[in-house]
Structure 1
Amino acid sequence: MATTPELLPIPQVLSIDRPEQLKALGHPLRLRVLEMLGEREEALSNRELAQRLGVDPGHLHFHVRMLLRAELIQQVPTARGREKPYRAAARTLKVAPELVSAGASNLHLAVIEDLGRAQFEHGAEGRFRFVRVSVHVSPEKAFEVLSELVPRLEELEDENEEQLVITAILHPHPDGG
Structure 2
Amino acid sequence: MAEDAPKSIYDFTVKDIRGNDVSLSEYSGKVLLIVNVASKCGLTQSNYKELNVLYEKYKNQGFEILAFPCNQFAGQEPGTNEQIQEVVCTAFKAEFPIFDKIEVNGKNAAPLYKFLKSEKGGYFGDAIKWNFTKFLVNKEGKVVERYAPTTSPLKIEERRDTFVEIPGST
Q: TM-score, normalised by structure 1?
A: 0.25
Structure holding more strand per residue = 2
Q: TM-score, normalised by structure 2?
A: 0.26
Larger radius of gyration: 1
Greater helix share, structure number: 1
